[in-house]
Amino acid sequence: MSVSSFYKSVSHVIFDMDGLLLDTERLYTVSFQEICDRFGKQYTWDVKSSVMGKNALAAAQTIRDKLELPMTAQELLHETRMIQERIFPSAKLMPGVEKLVQHLQKHNIPTAVATSSAGVTFNLKTSQHKEFFSRFDHIVLGDDPEVKSSKPQPDSFLVCASRFKPPVSPEKCLVFEDAPNGVKAALAAGMQVVMIPDDNLDPSLTQEATLRLRSMEEFEPQLFGLPAYS
């Protein structure tokens, strides 16, 4: 199998979840904007891109500080959680996701998920997709006790690699991400990373990725030594 000299062959694939497997980033925007509307504030892409991939409380603190909202980060988190409980179960799979995951699993390529989402929100978001998420070898959540620091630190990806049976070295893992913090985390873990950013994201925040695509549907597995689509 020929691999482009620019990309290295991998044997395992790790996926981020929010905005990458599921269209939940859109739902986060809805929930934060609903609160911002009360105070005449705008949840802009500048603010959003700075918190994508962070854990919930860290994200809420950044949003509160940047937009100078008259509430604590905990209050903001509590109020957005109430909105999210209502809307997260409507999350849909992103284009091309089902096809790629099915293809990798058909060829016995080990796959896993490393998400900043904690258990409760993970369950809300995936409630309509339980069968799909049951196909992964394992899932590392944001509140996993072994994940000491959230993205952009590499912890979640390193823990994820260590849980494959047998554990795999980071350079044999390919990560899929949509967020700048997630890309930084994957690179810090010593992994290659395919970034599929939202069209609204400032292009300057996408430069570090190993490969940048508009959609998962554009991905060519053979670039990284994985079986090509037939």
List, by residue number, the catalytic residues: 16, 18
Q: How far apart are CA 191 and CA 11, in angstroms?
A: 12
Which residues, 6+ apart, have CB-to-CB distance to 162 below 8 Å?
Answer: none
